[in-house]
Chain A
Amino acid sequence: MKPLKLVAVSAGLSQPSSTRLLADRLAEAARRHLAEERATEVRVVELRDLATDIANTMVTGFPGAALREAIEAVTEADGVIAVTPIFTASYSGLFKSFFDVIDNTALAGKPVLIAATGGTARHSLALEHALRPLFAYLRAIVVPTAVYAASEDWGTGGDGRTDGLATRISRAAEELAGLVLRRPAAAERIDAVIPFEQQLAALRP
């Protein structure tokens, strides 16, 4: 049986980046859950490396080689982890631009775990108000638990009212793994053409 493919898309900009760190933590947690049943390959797509390619694609309409390869990886993945820093109350422009240049059917039916980082926990609902509708539009199956990591989360545990970051990561990763494992095998995508007689017949008054 072929190994499952998990792709984490990180829109973090700094080096090192807490967005990338969160993506790695989520990917590793999901891989561990999946590994109980299936071998799993993890691939991280760093959008920072593709920033110029993404802008060029906006201008020319076609992706360069590196971006094309990343888009194919996401399109063929069994599950996707999408992580963005929160900028100006929403996902970053780079993050949105990547999902703007990807085919709008590429994520249809695909389990997606959404996550975000920010300087303050006050922006955590951006996940629910911005990322979840974005992926709903793309007809992805969005994991119920979205993971937000504020700066303070990296240095605190949970308390009586909230689970700590580690617990949230684990819960979200388990939910993602469950969806990936229950997902029906994807059919090979073929370029089917509708015979011309059918196209003509559909127009007859």
Chain B
Amino acid sequence: MQFGIFTVGDVTTDPTTGRTPSEHERIKAMVAIALKAEEVGLDVFATGEHHNPPFVPSSPTTMLGYIAARTERLILSTSTTLITTNDPVKIAEDFAMLQHLAGGRVDLMLGRGNTGPVYPWFGKDIRQGIPLAIENYALLHELWRKDVVDWEGRFRTPLQSFTSTPRPLDGVPPFVWHGSIRSPEIAEQAAYYGDGFFANNIFWPKEHFIRLVELYRQRFAHYGHGTPEQAVVGLGGQVFMRKNSQDAVREFRPYFDNAPVYGHGPSLEEFTDQTPLTVGSPQEVIDKTLTFRDSFGDYQRQLFLMDHAGLPLKTVLEQLDILGEEVVPVLRREFAAGRPSEVPDGPTHGALVARRDAEAGEGSPVPAGSPA
């Protein structure tokens, strides 16, 4: 089981001081947060991709490449990479390059984005969102697995005798997660390829995501990648902790009340009741996170949103200390207890290479993540 953080990269005014960080400060803060994640023993850092203010991370592989050079163990990922508006050829090249530089510590989560105008800004039609996600990923998948690609599709100029370079590290492409908050088509896509499915459940009640994850698990098995329990599931979470619950609530409330996504809506109490958000003691975070397994089954990756809504860097780093020291070690132990041995761990490059080699030894080369 892997634990990590994912960031939106928003530049938001701190509602308690009225201070707004510059883009430069925010970018440096994101890097400091990533380095801290490794320091406190987390496994994953994932950054969003946005192309409009108030968000800074428009160029994820640039940022992740820099972080890769300054870390040793941390897996670098995205949340999400826009499979609809980015050229799949450029995604194949950028992430293969990053994979080499990071020694394999790279995966990515594909999504369709949440900002309508990004489609026209990049010359795409938002009404084709799902078809773009399907066709672009089919090409990306092929580019990473076939040395020479002849290809023709609906949305991109055709390719003749094209080789995407560099080839993936050790001949094994980065692991891919498909992120979705509402589309069963994307759960079906993840299942078809035997890729991971990440349900970003942080803003909505769990009932909705239970259906999506269950669909993904059933279809994963249908396509012959293993049992439903062996499907690769990632979930989101959102926490704010202090030693005493009341202190956490008091400190976080102004950030909650003014948060860009859900601020000025339901109360903190209603929202914590209905969504994964936990504001309280480390023990409360442990208790709530453990319930995710009851709802979704044993899963592979848990990412927490820690640094949005204008929280100052110093506070975020304190939160990461608490997460790394008091929460994640307990969660690792508890999630490991009673976990069936056939349920896979979170995906790593080393494990994918080993699996590829094992399958090659059996004489049935099935690249990890490709349809059986």
Contact = CB atoms under 8 A, between A and B. Distances in A.
Contacts of A55: 265
A191 interface: yes
A137 interface: no
Contacts of B266: 56, 59-60, 64
A60 B203 contact: yes
A193 to B, nearest CB: 5
A62 B274 contact: yes
B305 to A, nearest CB: 15
A193 B184 contact: yes
A203 interface: yes
Nearest to A53: B266
A194 interface: yes
B208 interface: yes
A16 interface: no
A199 B205 CA distance: 29
Interface residues of A, number: 19
B194 to A, nearest CB: 12
B189 interface: yes
Interface in B255-277: 261-266, 270-271, 274
Given A203-B153, A205-B152, A191 B262 contact: no
Interface in A24-80: 55-56, 58-62, 64-65
B131 interface: yes
A82 to B, nearest CB: 26
A195 interface: yes
A4 to B, nearest CB: 28
Given A58-B265, A59-B264, 17 more contacts: A56-B266, A56-B270, A59-B263, A60-B204, A60-B266, A60-B271, A64-B274, A65-B274, A191-B184, A191-B215, A195-B188, A196-B191, A199-B185, A200-B138, A203-B134, A203-B153, A205-B153
Interface string A165-205: 00000000000000000000000000101111001101101
A38 B17 CA distance: 64
B205 A62 contact: yes
Given A60-B203, A200-B138, A191 B211 contact: yes
Contacts of A205: 152-154
B135 interface: yes
Contact of B134 (A59, A61, A191, A199): A199
Contacts of A203: 131, 134-135, 138, 153-154
B213 to A, nearest CB: 13
A200 B133 CA distance: 11
A93 B134 CA distance: 39
B192 A64 contact: no
Q: Which 5 residue pairs are nearest across A and B when measured between Cβ atoms?
A: A59-B265, A196-B192, A56-B266, A62-B204, A56-B265
A199 B188 contact: yes
A70 to B, nearest CB: 16
A60 B265 contact: yes
Interface string B110-142: 000000000000000000001100110010000
Contacts of B274: 62, 64-65
Nearest to A203: B135
Contacts of A202: 131
B167 interface: no
B219 interface: yes
Nearest to B204: A62
Contacts of B191: 196
B242 to A, nearest CB: 25
Contact of A193 (B154, B205, B219, B263): B219
Nearest to A197: B192
A44 B138 CA distance: 50
Interface in B194-216: 203-205, 208, 211, 215
